[in-house]
């Protein structure tokens, strides 16, 4: 678990990341500069940094279609849209417009001809046809402020930040199959086919909830560090990794300065 290398991107600090394992290129969303960077992971070289013209952009999540070498980036700006990036040229190929209000999370269906996106501003999930580049329909997320989403067959797993829940939806009808309380600030979501478990990183409670993918029973609420933000599962081993952000905040006059947050900016490993 030792750090073996790092790539400096201080001019465009990254938020989200997606990797094309076929081309070995990483794509980062740089929210502070409203841009996307492409980085060659073999040599650590910055290949390109580009934007899509709007000063109100706020790029967030990255989703990669390795077979077609296309990269999808959610823009939560005003208006929300999705950038489609050509992995061959590392330029914006086109934009999918009118995706909803405050579009954040992204997930493919099994055929990768449709895209499911969460819209925090309307508490909805939108279904986008990638051929027509248009929203086919939208349905309720079953909670408040849906942030991230995972698709598994005909099921969608959605974290709802404000209501502190994970909802399970039928991807075809939008029916809410289950609403599972997880903890305040549910944000990161992952599903592991190997163990049939769902993981929810709950930013405000400092916990990660482990859910049975068949019964939807909560198996554990684990303290994983300050502000759990993202969770990813190794599909080969079933091990989950949680990224914990450091607690922040401005100093309060008359109050002692807070000490260092030893549980932040860490990665927790769940077996």
* Residues contacting 232, CB < 8 A, separation 6+: 190, 240, 241
pLDDT tens per residue across span 145-164: 999 999 999 999 999 999 99
Percent of the chain with pLDDT over 70: 92
* Cβ-based burial of 79 (10 A; exposed 0-12, middle 13-18, buried ≥19): middle
Helices and strands (DSSP H and E) totals, the chain: 0, 23
Nearest C-alpha neighbor of 246 from the set 224, 229, 231, 261: 261
Q: How confident is the model at residue 227 (pLDDT cuts 50, 70, 90)?
A: confident
Percent of the chain with pLDDT over 90: 72
Chain-centroid distance, C-alpha 53: 23
pLDDT tens per residue across span 82-104: 999 999 999 999 999 999 999 99
Task: Note the pLDDT of residue 56.
Answer: 78
Q: What's the CA gap between 156 and 81, in Å, rounded?
A: 21
pLDDT for 11 beyond 90: no
Give yes or no for a cis peptide into 79 (omega within 30° of 0): yes
Is residue 151 a contact partner of residue 116, using CB atoms and an 8 Å limit? yes
Q: Which residue has the tokens 């077609």?
A: 68
Domain segments of the chain: what residues? 140-256+263-271
| Cβ count near 54 (within 10 Å) | 14
pLDDT tens per residue across span 22-49: 999 999 999 889 999 999 999 989 999 9
Q: Alpha-carbon Rg of the chain, whole angstroms?
A: 18
Is residue 134 a contact partner of residue 150, using CB atoms and an 8 Å limit? no
Task: Note the pLDDT of residue 253.
Answer: 59
What is the fold of 140-256+263-271? Methylamine Dehydrogenase; Chain H (2.130.10)
pLDDT tens per residue across span 233-247: 998 899 998 888 887
Q: How confident is the model at residue 258 (pLDDT cuts 50, 70, 90)?
A: low
Q: How far is CA 215 from CA 62, 95, 180, in A?
A: 30, 39, 11
pLDDT for 215 beyond 80: yes
Task: Note the pLDDT of residue 4.
Answer: 67
* Residues contacting 60, CB < 8 A, separation 6+: 15, 16, 29, 31, 73, 74, 75, 76, 104
């Amino acid at each position: 678990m030792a750090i073996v290398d790092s790539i400096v991107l201080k001019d465009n600090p990254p938020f989200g990341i997606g990797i094309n394992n076929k081309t070995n290129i990483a794509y980062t969303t740089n929210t502070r500069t409203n841009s996307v960077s492409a980085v060659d992971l073999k040599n650590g070289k910055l290949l390109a940094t580009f934007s899509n013209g709007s000063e109100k952009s706020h790029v967030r999540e990255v989703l990669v279609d390795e077979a077609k070498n296309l990269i999808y980036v959610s823009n939560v700006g005003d208006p929300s849209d999705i950038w489609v990036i050509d992995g061959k040229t590392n330029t914006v190929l086109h934009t999918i417009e009118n995706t909803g209000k405050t579009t954040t999370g992204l997930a493919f269906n099994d055929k990768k001809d449709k895209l499911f996106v969460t819209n925090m501003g309307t508490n909805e999930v939108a279904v986008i046809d990638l051929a027509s580049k248009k929203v086919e329909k939208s349905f309720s997320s079953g909670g408040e402020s849906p942030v991230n989403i995972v698709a598994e067959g005909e099921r969608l797993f959605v974290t709802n930040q404000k209501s502190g829940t994970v909802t399970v939806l039928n991807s075809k009808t939008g029916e809410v199959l289950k609403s599972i309380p997880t903890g305040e600030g549910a944000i990161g979501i992952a599903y592991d086919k190997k163990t049939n478990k769902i993981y929810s990183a709950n930013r405000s409670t400092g916990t990660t909830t482990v859910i049975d993918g068949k019964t939807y029973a909560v198996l554990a609420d684990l303290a994983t560090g300050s502000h759990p933000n993202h969770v990813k599962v190794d599909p080969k081993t079933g091990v989950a990794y949680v990224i914990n952000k450091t607690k922040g905040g401005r100093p309060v006059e008359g109050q002692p300065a807070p000490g260092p947050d030893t549980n932040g900016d860490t990665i927790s490993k769940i077996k």
